């Protein structure tokens, strides 16, 4: 019996210095997704590592980053081109924060600074009706907590995408494009110590946006339902045939 296909993790950035003692983003993602190290291949695209052929992978997960999609860095645009082709070919994709924004950009959506300012801490997600029939979000309550930390956001989802969730500060916290490509603005891989560390690290920025970091950190709570989405993505991707996923919307060209 052949072993299951590995998942490709695209590393687009590094944790803030105070959080590096917990490892890099691919480690956080792998643990939250329930994947063994041997079940993943990590490519550090920010460092210029070459992107492999998507063939031979069960799916790909794109990490968060302190970079900005609007800077149009060479490595970022190259990764966007790869994601566009992979999504059109039906490879299961799960983008987190920067990965969410990069996937939206790759597929023709609009990414820029959030007019509402920095969103940080444990936030409340509100699901839109299509989420209740979505392969990853089905069965979850209409509202539940998640961890978020970002300045930029998806201002306009790609054509043909379905927006699945919002927060009081962000209208596009999750979307699905086609059958097997998802972007989530929140961080399902973050535990409470991760988000508290990020709130402390971004204290000055929060203050400039009218928020008190101590208050935001005090209001951090566990977000187990958001965390569950990574395992659901892995389970969903493993139910699909290796080739011909057919994830492209009819109106996507």
Q: Which residue, among 178, 197, 180, has the nearest Cα to 248 in the 3D structure?
A: 178
Secondary structure E strands in 76-205: 93-96, 110-113, 119-127, 143-150, 152-156, 161-167, 170-177, 181-184
100 is catalytic: no
Exactly one of 11, 97, 128, 180 is catalytic; which is it?
97
| SS3 at position 66 | coil
HSE-up (13 A, CA, CB side) for residue 82: 22
Tokens of 34: 């329930």
187 is catalytic: yes
Residue 243 annotated in active site: no
Q: Which of 105, 150, 173, 187 is catalytic?
A: 187
CA of residue 96 relative to chain centroid, distance: 1
> Looking at the annotation, which residues are catalytic?
97, 187, 189
């Amino acid at each position: 019996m052949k072993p299951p296909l590995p998942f490709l993790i695209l590393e687009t950035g590094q944790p803030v210095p105070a959080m590096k003692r917990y490892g890099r983003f691919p480690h956080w993602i792998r643990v939250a997704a329930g994947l063994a190290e041997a079940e993943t291949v990590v490519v550090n695209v920010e460092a210029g590592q070459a992107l492999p052929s998507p063939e031979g992978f069960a799916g790909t997960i794109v990490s968060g980053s302190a970079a900005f999609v609007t800077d149009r860095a060479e490595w970022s645009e190259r990764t966007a081109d790869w994601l566009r082709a992979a999504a059109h070919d039906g490879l299961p994709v799960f983008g987190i924060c920067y990965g969410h924004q990069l996937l939206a950009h790759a597929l023709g959506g609009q990414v820029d600074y959030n007019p509402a300012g920095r969103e940080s801490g444990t936030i409340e997600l509100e699901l839109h009706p299509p989420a209740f029939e979505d392969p990853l979000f089905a069965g979850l309550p209409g509202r539940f907590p998640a961890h978020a930390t970002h300045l930029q956001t998806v201002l306009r989802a790609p054509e043909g995408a379905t927006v699945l969730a919002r927060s009081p500060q962000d209208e596009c916290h999750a979307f699905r494009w086609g059958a097997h490509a998802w972007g989530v603005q929140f961080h399902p891989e973050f535990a409470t110590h991760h988000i508290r560390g990020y709130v402390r690290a971004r204290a000055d920025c929060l203050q400039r946006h009218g928020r008190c970091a101590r208050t935001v950190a005090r209001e951090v709570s566990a977000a187990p339902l958001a965390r569950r989405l990574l395992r659901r993505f892995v389970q969903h991707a493993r139910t699909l045939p290796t080739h011909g996923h057919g994830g492209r919307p009819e109106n996507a060209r």
